[in-house]
């Protein structure tokens, strides 16, 4: 049986084994997909041992940069994101990819039917998640991507990195005063229940607000957006879509994500 895994620390919370097993069942594929806890600072040795027998691995916090260094070959998405979340062993080479950005784009565009083309997009945050989504968003040909971050220098660096791909603008939270079509929260503020210092005027009833975090309840960011009449969603669909893209890389078939997203939504309402 082909062996797959998600490697992280911590890892017990990961939904990836359930998601990949459900995808596999759609095609009658038999596989083993396990959660693996690696020690911090020992990713290389751990991944090397896994790929003695394993075919593919997802990599999550805090090892995405270690996985970038571990891979022999990188996709453009992984190289520009500076992070790898999907590894594949093929012809004795380890290929590294990053499916987070495609997962986000597919969730917004295909599941929520919101086009990114020609839209004024605001990306909040300049950490690992934000870096991973700029190229796939740029490929949708938006009007512009404005990047705002608590540490403005990081937003400037990220915006500069993508000037050849799209119209990027770097700014601080405080300088944001006018509305956007799409606002994506890629900060980890929601994880700790913190509020971002955002002007409510950024949101209108035409704005689509997306929080990459997912949980049982709407985040503070989603609540602010909803209070201004915006549609607001969380990142559960992105989680399933990035897994689907990894599945495609490993098995060359595209799973149907809808029943899995619906199942996870039903589970969290219990």
Catalytic residue numbers, as ranges: 64
Q: Which is nearer to ligand NDP, 89 or 236 (CB)?
A: 236
Residue with tokens 């990035």: 242
What pairing do the DSSP bridges indicate for beta strands 73-74 and 93-97?
parallel
Q: Which is nearer to ligand NDP, 219 or 230 (CB)?
A: 219
191 lines the binding site for ligand NDP (CB under 6 A):
yes
Q: Which is nearer to ligand NDP, 48 or 258 (CB)?
A: 258
15 lines the binding site for ligand NDP (CB under 6 A):
no
Q: Which of residues 83-102 bind ligand NDP (CB under 6 A)?
A: 100
Q: How many CB atoms lie within 10 A of CB 264?
A: 19
Q: Nearest distance from residue 237's CB to ligand NDP, in Å? A: 8
Q: Which stretch binds ligand NDP (CB under 6 A): 5-13, 49-57, 174-182, 237-245?
A: 237-245
Q: Which stretch binds ligand NDP (CB under 6 A): 13-21, 38-46, 71-79, 119-127?
A: 119-127
Q: Which is nearer to ligand NDP, 47 or 130 (CB)?
A: 130
With beta carbons less than 8 A apart as the criterion, state whether 234 and 218 touch: yes
With beta carbons less than 8 A apart as the criterion, state whether 214 and 267 touch: no
Q: Which is nearer to ligand NDP, 71 or 130 (CB)?
A: 130
Cα–Cα dist 270/266, whole Å = 7
**109: Cα separation from own chain's centroid:** 14
Phi, psi (rounded to 5 degrees) for 57: -140, 140
Q: Which is nearer to ligand NDP, 62 or 179 (CB)?
A: 62
157 lines the binding site for ligand NDP (CB under 6 A):
no
The alpha carbon dihedral of 143, 148, 152, 153 has a sign of negative
Residue of the chain from 180, 214, 247, 250 that contacts ligand NDP (CB under 6 A): 214
255 lines the binding site for ligand NDP (CB under 6 A):
no
C-alpha distances in Å from residue 216, one per residue of 22, 36, 270: 21, 25, 9
Q: Nearest distance from residue 226's CB to ligand NDP, in Å? A: 19
Q: Nearest distance from residue 28's CB to ligand NDP, in Å? A: 27
Cα–Cα dist 245/111, whole Å = 15
Number of residues engaging ligand NDP in binding (CB under 6 A)? 27
235 lines the binding site for ligand NDP (CB under 6 A):
yes
127 lines the binding site for ligand NDP (CB under 6 A):
yes
| DSSP secondary structure string for all residues of 13-76 | T--HHHHHHHHHHHHT--EEEEEEEPPTT-HHHHHHHHTTT-SEEEE-TT-HHHHHHH-SEE-H
Residue of the chain from 36, 184, 213, 261 that contacts ligand NDP (CB under 6 A): 213
257 lines the binding site for ligand NDP (CB under 6 A):
no
């Amino acid at each position: 049986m082909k062996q797959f895994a998600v490697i992280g620390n911590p890892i017990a919370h990961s939904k990836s084994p359930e998601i990949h097993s459900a995808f596999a069942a759609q095609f009658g594929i038999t596989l083993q997909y396990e959660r693996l806890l690696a020690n911090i600072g020992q990713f290389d040795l751990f991944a090397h041992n896994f790929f003695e027998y394993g075919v593919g691995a997802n990599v999550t916090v805090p090892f995405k940069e270690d996985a970038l260094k571990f891979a022999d070959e990188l996709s453009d998405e992984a190289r520009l994101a500076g992070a790898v979340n999907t590894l594949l062993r093929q012809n004795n080479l380890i290929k590294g990819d990053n499916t987070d950005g495609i997962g986000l784009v597919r969730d917004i565009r295909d599941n929520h039917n919101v086009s990114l083309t020609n839209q004024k997009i605001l990306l909040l945050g300049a950490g690992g998640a934000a870096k991973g989504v700029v190229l796939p968003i740029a490929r949708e040909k938006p009007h512009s991507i404005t990047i705002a971050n608590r540490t403005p220098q990081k937003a400037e660096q990220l915006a500069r990195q993508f000037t050849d791909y799209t119209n990027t603008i770097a700014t601080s939270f405080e300088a944001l005063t006018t509305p956007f079509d799409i606002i994506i929260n890629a900060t980890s503020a929601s994880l700790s229940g913190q509020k971002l210092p955002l002007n409510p005027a950024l949101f209108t009833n035409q704005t689509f607000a997306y929080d990459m975090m997912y949980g049982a309840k709407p985040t503070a960011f989603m609540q602010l957006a909803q209070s201004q009449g915006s549609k607001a969603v969380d990142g559960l669909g992105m989680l399933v879509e990035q897994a689907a893209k990894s599945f495609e890389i490993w098995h060359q078939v595209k799973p149907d994500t809808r029943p899995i997203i619906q199942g996870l939504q039903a589970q969290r309402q219990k």
